[in-house]
Structure 1
Amino acid sequence: MENSRKAFTDFVDKAVAAASLLNRDELMFSYKGILYPVTICSPEAFKALESFEARSDDVILAAYPKSGTNWLSQILNDLIAISQKKTLTKESSGDAEKPQEFPYLEVGDPEKYERMMKLPSPRFMVTHLRPENLPTSIFKNKVKILLLVRNPKDVATSFFHFCNGIATLPSYETWDDFFTDFMSKKAAWGCYFEYLSEWNKYIDKENIMTITYEELKENPALGVKNIAAFFGITLTEEELQLVVERSSFQSMKKNSEKTHGSFGNVFFRKGGVRDWKNIFSEDQNEKMDKVFEEQVAGTKLGKKLKYDVYCKA
């Protein structure tokens, strides 16, 4: 476990060091019309990813950046560990066993996918990609995907702070500047509203489970229980409570230096709901409300987000 944590922190440290040598306008590149960070992604890796062969027992977490990916990664890693009869304790810090490969599908060198062929099942993978940019084998082999979504105002707020905390992404002098980029499809991994619209086409498939950041916040135990059931993992009451406890924001932030190195505080900032109220202007509220209404509100995924509850002033 120490080696796998080190692989994670080493990768992030190297990417940040490389990014610090670049100008702001050199930090991103465009692939199929979407922007990605140049120090962690590459066109060559995206090309190699197309032929990646998924296994039917792979475990995939799909989420747009700053939707709670690290939180759900902790939960899923712990569930996988339990299914493999590994012992979790309150004291064991951070994630359960992480694969040696950086878990984000689209992040890394082009040879990564050949190395992943040698990893034992179940392989755990995370992706920020839209479904049309994922390998076709994932859908052909009906890999189970946990789709995590979060209210767009908190996503934007968290993304802004993240961009200003890590050198791999362009930083912003003002929130207004970031909001303009976020709303005009200039943020890394593309437009969140398009992301939601594209994934909405898949949410009725039996191999895809959708969960919102907010519902998991409201009732963590029920969320973990439902996720475990989706992946066919049986939990005792004691195991359930342990997974919930280990994945609490307080626990993860406390262990963040061990799991995410010197950038632990950047990855785990507040972990709350409705932080957008501290930063959105009235005009920005109206702009996002209008775009959400036009593009997402009428979809099943849009309704699941409970926009009126979490995003109305």
Structure 2
Amino acid sequence: MAQSKQKTDREMLLDILHFAPGKTSAEDLLFNYKDVLYPSTICSKEMFEALETFEARDDDLMIVTYPKCGTNWVIQILHEMVSIIKNQETVLDQPMIEFGSPQMLERLKEQPSPRILSTHLNFQMIPKSFFEKKTQMLIVIRNPKDAAISFFNFYKNMPALPTYESWNLFFNDFIHGNVCYGSYFNYLVEWNNHIDEGNVMAITFEDMKTDFLTQLKKISEFFGLPLTDEQLCEVERRTSFTSMKQKSEDTHGKLGDAFFRKGQIGDWKSLFNEEQSKEVDAKFQQHLDKTKLGDLLNYAKYCKF
């Protein structure tokens, strides 16, 4: 009998997310670590403690995002870029560095460079070695209203996360930071304090949607990946949102639709009421107005009725 193919760490974690116990309470599916909520099926105190001594490399390619801001899209972009440069297919294996068990971090030590890494962790939780090695870190941000809508739908479609009976209930938790990975606004405020460091660059989901090829060039130059214009066009073809959604079952199994839903700009207008919109406006004004990341978001263009 032929042996079945051994699943990668990433595939095993996708299985855990999909086959998590039926939708139950937040107390069962989330846990609090240092005042931030995390999914208990794939994150643990032991993993966070192990991350404290994780050894980054100076040639790692690190993607940093708040949830539902383009994470999996950029992961695939970097895999395609590295595949083209190496002239060989790379395995889409490594999950977020905080997912899984400490044994996964041990296996990560054996991966050849450049490793493509990603995380939703806030600045304070990033392993110190990334800063000591001055690893290049790409921050991908998205306007808070579309991020909230996408996060709400992700909760609805992810068995490993609790169910919300309504958008209004989810919005109340989102605006107060009582969702996985905490407050969107605190997340961006922390990173804004480090945006001028030479190994950190930020791009927006909106710019990727409206001027994709230019953003691909920025990404390749930031990470020192020497791609020709022709090669960048090939990456663009392979990683358009439409292409990613079409192959999402291959890359993300039965959870493909949860990870790649619409990818639209302005979808927030379908659920936000005027009061909710004003609440987010006030939060933005308080925390991000006239900051570098706030300016980059082009809030007036993308977040006004």
TM-score normalised according to structure 1 size: 0.92
What stretches of structure 2 of length at least 5 have no aligned partner? Answer: none
When residues 74 and 47 of structure 1 are mapped into structure 2, their CA distance, relative to the original with a 3 A threshold, is: same
Q: Quick check: 2:60–2:115 contact (8 Å CA) kept in 1? A: yes
Q: Indicate whether 1:195 and 2:187 are aligned.
A: yes
- Distance apart, 1:55 and its partner CA: 0.5
Distance in 2 separating the partners of 1:180 and 1:206: 37
When residues 201 and 19 of structure 1 are mapped into structure 2, their CA distance, relative to the original with a 3 A threshold, is: farther
What stretches of structure 1 of length at least 5 have no aligned partner? Answer: 88-95
When residues 311 and 4 of structure 1 are mapped into structure 2, their CA distance, relative to the original with a 3 A threshold, is: farther
SS in 2 for 1:210: strand
Q: Quick check: 1:221–1:240 contact (8 Å CA) kept in 2? A: yes
SS in 2 for 1:146: strand
What is the aligned partner in structure 1 of residue 72 from structure 2?
70
Distance in 1 separating the partners of 2:226 and 2:39: 38
Paired residues in the alignment total 302
Q: Indicate whether 1:98 and 2:92 are aligned.
A: yes
Deviations 1:236-274 (A, max 9, x none): 222111100111111111111111001111111101101
Counterpart code for 1:255: K
What is the aligned partner in structure 2 of residue 213 from structure 1?
205
When residues 248 and 3 of structure 1 are mapped into structure 2, their CA distance, relative to the original with a 3 A threshold, is: farther
When residues 103 and 195 of structure 1 are mapped into structure 2, their CA distance, relative to the original with a 3 A threshold, is: same
Distance in 2 separating the partners of 1:4 and 1:22: 31
Deviations 1:202-240 (A, max 9, x none): 111111111000111111111101110111112122211
Counterpart code for 2:53: S
Over the aligned positions, Cα root-mean-square deviation in angstroms equals: 1.7
Q: Quick check: 1:81–1:97 contact (8 Å CA) kept in 2? A: no
Q: Indicate whether 1:238 and 2:218 are aligned.
A: no
What is the aligned partner in structure 1 of residue 165 from structure 2?
173
Residues 1-313 of structure 1 mapped to structure 2, 5 A cutoff: 7-20=9-22, 23-86=25-88, 96-99=90-93, 102-313=94-305
Q: Quick check: 1:5–1:260 contact (8 Å CA) kept in 2? A: no
Distance in 1 separating the partners of 2:23 and 2:149: 27
When residues 243 and 3 of structure 1 are mapped into structure 2, their CA distance, relative to the original with a 3 A threshold, is: farther
Identity of aligned residues (%): 44
Distance in 2 separating the partners of 1:224 and 1:6: 27
What is the aligned partner in structure 2 of residue 90 from structure 1?
none
SS in 2 for 1:112: helix
Distance in 1 separating the partners of 2:160 and 2:243: 26
When residues 213 and 150 of structure 1 are mapped into structure 2, their CA distance, relative to the original with a 3 A threshold, is: same
- Distance apart, 1:160 and its partner CA: 0.2
Distance in 2 separating the partners of 1:222 and 1:3: 39
Distance in 1 separating the partners of 2:5 and 2:287: 44
Runs of at least 4 residues of structure 1 off by over 6 A?
Answer: 2-5
TM-score normalised according to structure 2 size: 0.95
- Distance apart, 1:58 and its partner CA: 0.5
- Distance apart, 1:5 and its partner CA: 7.7
Distance in 2 separating the partners of 1:63 and 1:130: 9
SS in 2 for 1:111: helix
- Distance apart, 1:3 and its partner CA: 6.4
